[in-house]
Amino acid sequence: MKTTKPLLWVPSLYLGESLPYAAVMLMSLVLYQEMGLTDTQITLYTGWLGLPWVIKPLWSPIVDGIKTKRWWILAMQLLIGAALAALAFTLPTSFWLQASLALFMLIAFSSATHDICADGFYILGLSNKDQELYVGLRNTFYRIGMVLGQGGLVMLAGLLQKSEMSIPLSWSITFLAVAGLMLMLAAYHWKALPQPDSDTPKGEKLNVLEDFGMTLKVFFTKPHLITALLFILLFRLPEGLLTKIVPLFLKRTIAEGGLALTDVQYGFVYGTLGVIGLLGGGIVGGWLVSKFGLKKMLWPLVLCITLPDIVYVYLSYIQSQSLPLIATCVFIEQVGYGLGFTAYTLYLVSFSHGERSTSVFSFCTAFQYLGGVMLPGMVSGWMSDQMGYQQFFIAVMGFCLVTFAVTALVKLPKES
């Protein structure tokens, strides 16, 4: 094995994992809003873009079987960079919508494949001790990529528009910047990524279906499966409804019921301060569970992820132009989200323990993305267009009862 210090590649690897996701699932919301699409159109289109992250367990055995994880990482980073550059050149054209959706989908599939290989490579490239040592660093740089994507890069588009540049051209330059970052990461990783002896193709292509079938059998024979599936699918329902609407609400004009934030203000409030709150909440949530246990902390953390959603009801009624007030409300809600999501993630980990734990966990994450992000996100725009933001946010508070119900039903492992 050609050794490389983990500090030279772990941060950059997870920066490269989060940037494409931020571009596809977060930056696209602001882009399409500024290009004139309705909330219904935006959430439906971008909801479908989340499909690759739902179904990625279907092709992960194939990826493992035909090339090394290092090869896939480099290839996907190059492909993502090229697709982002192509996206930049299509935005000023008359067919920008069709082209951007196709290219975003290509980036999404490439990014989901990159996720599979990056997480596997992290295990192969580090000892067990180093995996524990660097997990905080990897998560931090993943979040830094999110801040850079929905914070700094959205602010860049806004600054370009302030200089009287057109919306399509400003976003073209912004996505060219993301493309450049991904291509630089690919070039850097060509030298920086280690070459573990264990990073070899499995070469078991004929056993892919059998392997997938075995994982399905293990997953669907888990104890308390029905209540577990309900919890996995529905726990994040209120947040799933909010995720795509909050950015649009913050950006829409006062006449449209929004708060009329500029790109620069949005990038600071939601893309930077909000993500910092989310990260901080996750850290505190992890500490609380490690100290008091998941069973004791579950309900307090459930209240943390649900009750702060009421800040958007408040903001939608007062439509304040006070940036400090808006920033404080968003920060509070995102801290609560980080706290509650910690409990949810730890439940998924505990549910996955046992036979084929890694594959079972990938199924859990696929189901949670389906029920907690993709499907509610796709209908959230239609709901907000039909109801208006005020009634929509009230409805989200009502859906918190679903989170309470599945939490009351779920069976926690005894060791919690």
Residues of the chain with pLDDT under 70: 1-4, 132, 135-136, 202-209, 356, 358, 414-416
Rounded to whole angstroms, how far apart are CA atoms 19 and 370? 21
What's the token pair of residue 39?
A: 């909330």
Rounded to whole angstroms, how far apart are CA atoms 68 and 64? 7
In the chain, residues under CATH classification 1.20.1250.20 are 1-193, 204-416
Helices (H), 193-309: 208-220, 225-234, 237-251, 263-268, 274-292, 294-306
Q: Residue 407, CB half-sphere, CA atoms under 13 Å: how many?
A: 24
pLDDT one-digit tens code per residue, 67-111: 888 999 999 999 999 999 999 999 999 999 999 999 999 999 999
Per the CB < 8 A criterion, the answer to whether 340 and 306 are in contact is yes
Per the CB < 8 A criterion, the answer to whether 180 and 50 are in contact is no
Q: Please report the pLDDT score of residue 136 as a whole number.
A: 66
Cβ burial 246-259 (10 Å sphere, 16+ → b, else e): bbbbbbbeeeeebb
Rounded to whole angstroms, how far apart are CA atoms 82 and 178? 10
Q: What are phi and psi of 73, to 5 degrees?
A: -60, -50
Cβ burial 309-334 (10 Å sphere, 16+ → b, else e): bbbbbebbeeeeeeeeebbebbbebb
Rounded to whole angstroms, how far apart are CA atoms 326 and 320? 7
Q: Residue 103, CB half-sphere, CA atoms under 13 Å: how many?
A: 23
Rounded to whole angstroms, how far apart are CA atoms 270 and 265? 8
In 3D, which of 174, 305, 296 has the Cα closest to residue 234?
305
Q: How far is CA 369 from CA 30, 45, 118, 144, 252, in A?
A: 21, 16, 19, 21, 26
Per the CB < 8 A criterion, the answer to whether 150 and 27 are in contact is yes
- How many other C-beta atoms lie within 10 A of the C-beta of residue 200? 12
In 3D, which of 79, 245, 264 has the Cα closest to residue 160?
264
Per the CB < 8 A criterion, the answer to whether 26 and 272 are in contact is no
**CATH fold label, 204-416:** Growth Hormone; Chain: A; (1.20.1250)
Rounded to whole angstroms, how far apart are CA atoms 318 and 94? 38
Q: Please report the pLDDT score of residue 292 as a whole number.
A: 87
Q: What are phi and psi of 224, to 5 degrees?
A: 55, 40
Give the angle 19-22-25 at the CA atoms, nearest 5°.
Answer: 145
Rounded to whole angstroms, how far apart are CA atoms 315 and 279? 23
Under CATH, to which class is 1-193 assigned? mainly alpha
Rounded to whole angstroms, how far apart are CA atoms 182 and 148? 13
